[in-house]
Structure 1
Amino acid sequence: MVSKFSSRRPLDEGEEAEIQKIIASDPDAPEATDEQLAQAKPFAEAFPDLMESIKRARGRPKMAAPKVAVTLRVDPDVLERFQSKGKNWRSDMTQALRKAVGLT
Protein backbone atom coordinates (compact mmCIF):
# COMPACT_ATOMS: atom_id res chain seq x y z
CA MET A 1 0.00 0.00 0.00
CA VAL A 2 1.46 3.31 -1.04
CA SER A 3 0.82 6.27 1.22
CA LYS A 4 0.76 9.81 -0.01
CA PHE A 5 1.86 11.01 3.42
CA SER A 6 5.51 10.55 4.28
CA SER A 7 6.87 10.37 7.82
CA ARG A 8 10.25 11.58 6.59
CA ARG A 9 9.23 15.22 6.61
CA PRO A 10 6.86 17.33 8.69
CA LEU A 11 3.30 17.62 7.36
CA ASP A 12 2.16 20.93 6.05
CA GLU A 13 -1.11 22.45 7.33
CA GLY A 14 -3.15 21.15 4.37
CA GLU A 15 -1.92 17.56 4.83
CA GLU A 16 -2.55 17.69 8.58
CA ALA A 17 -6.09 19.01 7.97
CA GLU A 18 -6.76 16.22 5.45
CA ILE A 19 -5.55 13.55 7.88
CA GLN A 20 -7.70 14.98 10.69
CA LYS A 21 -10.70 14.98 8.32
CA ILE A 22 -10.12 11.30 7.48
CA ILE A 23 -9.83 10.42 11.17
CA ALA A 24 -13.04 12.30 12.03
CA SER A 25 -14.98 10.64 9.20
CA ASP A 26 -14.22 7.06 10.35
CA PRO A 27 -17.44 5.78 12.03
CA ASP A 28 -15.76 2.63 13.36
CA ALA A 29 -13.00 4.40 15.26
CA PRO A 30 -14.15 7.68 16.75
CA GLU A 31 -11.48 9.73 18.46
CA ALA A 32 -11.47 9.30 22.23
CA THR A 33 -12.62 12.24 24.33
CA ASP A 34 -10.57 13.70 27.18
CA GLU A 35 -13.00 12.09 29.67
CA GLN A 36 -12.56 8.67 28.05
CA LEU A 37 -8.78 9.03 28.08
CA ALA A 38 -8.86 10.02 31.77
CA GLN A 39 -10.75 6.80 32.59
CA ALA A 40 -8.49 4.57 30.48
CA LYS A 41 -6.58 1.78 32.28
CA PRO A 42 -3.73 -0.45 31.13
CA PHE A 43 -4.93 -3.75 29.59
CA ALA A 44 -3.49 -5.84 32.45
CA GLU A 45 -5.35 -3.73 35.00
CA ALA A 46 -8.64 -3.69 33.11
CA PHE A 47 -8.63 -7.45 32.31
CA PRO A 48 -6.34 -9.22 34.83
CA ASP A 49 -7.77 -12.72 34.25
CA LEU A 50 -7.46 -12.43 30.49
CA MET A 51 -3.94 -11.06 30.82
CA GLU A 52 -2.93 -13.97 33.02
CA SER A 53 -4.35 -16.47 30.53
CA ILE A 54 -2.39 -15.06 27.61
CA LYS A 55 0.85 -14.38 29.46
CA ARG A 56 3.61 -16.70 28.36
CA ALA A 57 7.26 -17.11 29.03
CA ARG A 58 9.67 -15.95 26.38
CA GLY A 59 11.90 -18.34 24.52
CA ARG A 60 11.97 -22.08 24.19
CA PRO A 61 10.15 -24.14 26.87
CA LYS A 62 12.38 -25.64 29.56
CA MET A 63 13.32 -29.28 29.02
CA ALA A 64 13.15 -31.86 31.80
CA ALA A 65 16.65 -33.13 30.96
CA PRO A 66 18.44 -30.55 28.82
CA LYS A 67 21.52 -31.60 26.91
CA VAL A 68 24.90 -30.25 27.94
CA ALA A 69 27.24 -28.60 25.46
CA VAL A 70 30.79 -29.97 25.64
CA THR A 71 33.97 -29.78 23.63
CA LEU A 72 35.26 -33.23 22.75
CA ARG A 73 38.36 -34.16 20.81
CA VAL A 74 37.99 -37.31 18.72
CA ASP A 75 40.19 -38.92 16.13
CA PRO A 76 39.51 -37.66 12.61
CA ASP A 77 38.64 -41.13 11.29
CA VAL A 78 36.04 -41.62 14.05
CA LEU A 79 34.43 -38.26 13.33
CA GLU A 80 34.50 -38.94 9.60
CA ARG A 81 32.74 -42.28 10.11
CA PHE A 82 29.91 -40.70 12.12
CA GLN A 83 29.55 -37.74 9.75
CA SER A 84 29.39 -40.07 6.75
CA LYS A 85 26.12 -41.47 8.15
CA GLY A 86 24.37 -38.22 7.29
CA LYS A 87 22.55 -35.34 8.90
CA ASN A 88 21.80 -37.08 12.23
CA TRP A 89 25.39 -38.09 12.96
CA ARG A 90 25.29 -36.42 16.38
CA SER A 91 22.35 -38.58 17.46
CA ASP A 92 24.17 -41.66 16.19
CA MET A 93 27.24 -40.67 18.22
CA THR A 94 25.07 -40.18 21.31
CA GLN A 95 23.55 -43.64 20.85
CA ALA A 96 27.01 -45.21 20.46
CA LEU A 97 28.20 -43.48 23.64
CA ARG A 98 25.08 -44.59 25.54
CA LYS A 99 25.67 -48.15 24.45
CA ALA A 100 29.37 -47.95 25.40
CA VAL A 101 28.60 -46.85 28.96
CA GLY A 102 25.70 -49.26 29.41
CA LEU A 103 22.77 -46.83 29.33
CA THR A 104 20.88 -48.76 26.63
Structure 2
Amino acid sequence: MPAGGQQIAESHGGTLSVAEDAAVNAGIEADPDTLEVTDEMAAQMRPFRRAGRPPLESPKEPVTMRVDADVLATIKATGRG
Protein backbone atom coordinates (compact mmCIF):
# COMPACT_ATOMS: atom_id res chain seq x y z
CA MET A 1 0.00 0.00 0.00
CA PRO A 2 1.45 3.44 -0.89
CA ALA A 3 2.40 6.07 1.63
CA GLY A 4 -0.56 7.74 3.32
CA GLY A 5 -2.67 4.57 3.21
CA GLN A 6 -4.28 5.36 -0.19
CA GLN A 7 -5.14 2.46 -2.40
CA ILE A 8 -4.19 2.77 -6.04
CA ALA A 9 -6.37 1.85 -9.00
CA GLU A 10 -4.73 1.23 -12.36
CA SER A 11 -7.27 2.09 -15.03
CA HIS A 12 -7.96 4.57 -17.81
CA GLY A 13 -4.37 4.33 -19.01
CA GLY A 14 -2.72 5.56 -15.80
CA THR A 15 -2.46 5.23 -12.07
CA LEU A 16 -5.15 6.95 -9.98
CA SER A 17 -6.16 6.85 -6.36
CA VAL A 18 -9.36 4.95 -5.71
CA ALA A 19 -11.20 8.26 -5.12
CA GLU A 20 -9.89 9.72 -8.40
CA ASP A 21 -10.86 6.55 -10.26
CA ALA A 22 -14.37 6.67 -8.78
CA ALA A 23 -14.72 10.35 -9.78
CA VAL A 24 -13.65 9.57 -13.35
CA ASN A 25 -16.08 6.65 -13.60
CA ALA A 26 -18.93 8.77 -12.17
CA GLY A 27 -18.24 11.48 -14.76
CA ILE A 28 -18.28 8.91 -17.56
CA GLU A 29 -21.57 7.44 -16.35
CA ALA A 30 -23.18 10.90 -16.01
CA ASP A 31 -22.27 11.92 -19.58
CA PRO A 32 -25.20 11.14 -21.93
CA ASP A 33 -22.87 11.12 -24.95
CA THR A 34 -20.76 8.21 -23.71
CA LEU A 35 -21.30 4.74 -25.04
CA GLU A 36 -20.01 1.54 -23.49
CA VAL A 37 -18.52 -0.50 -26.33
CA THR A 38 -19.63 -4.11 -25.99
CA ASP A 39 -17.61 -7.10 -27.20
CA GLU A 40 -20.16 -7.56 -30.01
CA MET A 41 -19.75 -3.93 -31.13
CA ALA A 42 -15.96 -4.22 -31.01
CA ALA A 43 -16.08 -7.38 -33.14
CA GLN A 44 -18.03 -5.50 -35.84
CA MET A 45 -15.67 -2.51 -35.97
CA ARG A 46 -13.53 -2.01 -39.05
CA PRO A 47 -10.47 0.22 -39.50
CA PHE A 48 -11.19 3.71 -40.82
CA ARG A 49 -10.15 4.07 -44.45
CA ARG A 50 -9.95 7.45 -46.07
CA ALA A 51 -11.36 7.69 -49.57
CA GLY A 52 -8.97 9.04 -52.14
CA ARG A 53 -8.40 9.07 -55.84
CA PRO A 54 -8.65 5.62 -57.37
CA PRO A 55 -5.40 4.30 -58.79
CA LEU A 56 -4.96 4.84 -62.53
CA GLU A 57 -4.55 1.88 -64.86
CA SER A 58 -1.68 3.62 -66.65
CA PRO A 59 -0.36 6.51 -64.55
CA LYS A 60 1.69 9.22 -66.17
CA GLU A 61 5.41 9.04 -65.72
CA PRO A 62 7.57 12.10 -64.95
CA VAL A 63 10.13 12.82 -67.67
CA THR A 64 13.02 15.27 -67.86
CA MET A 65 14.08 16.18 -71.38
CA ARG A 66 16.40 18.84 -72.77
CA VAL A 67 15.54 20.31 -76.18
CA ASP A 68 16.67 23.30 -78.20
CA ALA A 69 14.73 26.51 -77.71
CA ASP A 70 13.31 26.47 -81.26
CA VAL A 71 12.02 22.88 -80.77
CA LEU A 72 10.36 23.89 -77.51
CA ALA A 73 8.78 26.93 -79.16
CA THR A 74 7.35 24.71 -81.91
CA ILE A 75 5.95 22.21 -79.39
CA LYS A 76 4.34 25.01 -77.37
CA ALA A 77 2.89 26.64 -80.49
CA THR A 78 1.21 23.43 -81.65
CA GLY A 79 -0.10 22.01 -78.39
CA ARG A 80 -1.85 22.72 -75.10
CA GLY A 81 1.06 23.63 -72.91
Q: State the TM-score bracket (shorter-chain normalisation).
A: 0.3 to 0.5
Q: Looking at secondary structure, tell me which structure has more helix per residue.
A: 1
Higher RCO, 1 or 2 (CA under 8 Å, sep at least 6)?
A: 2
User: What TM-score do the two structures reach when normalised by structure 1?
Assistant: 0.34
After TM superposition, the score normalised by the length of structure 2 is: 0.40
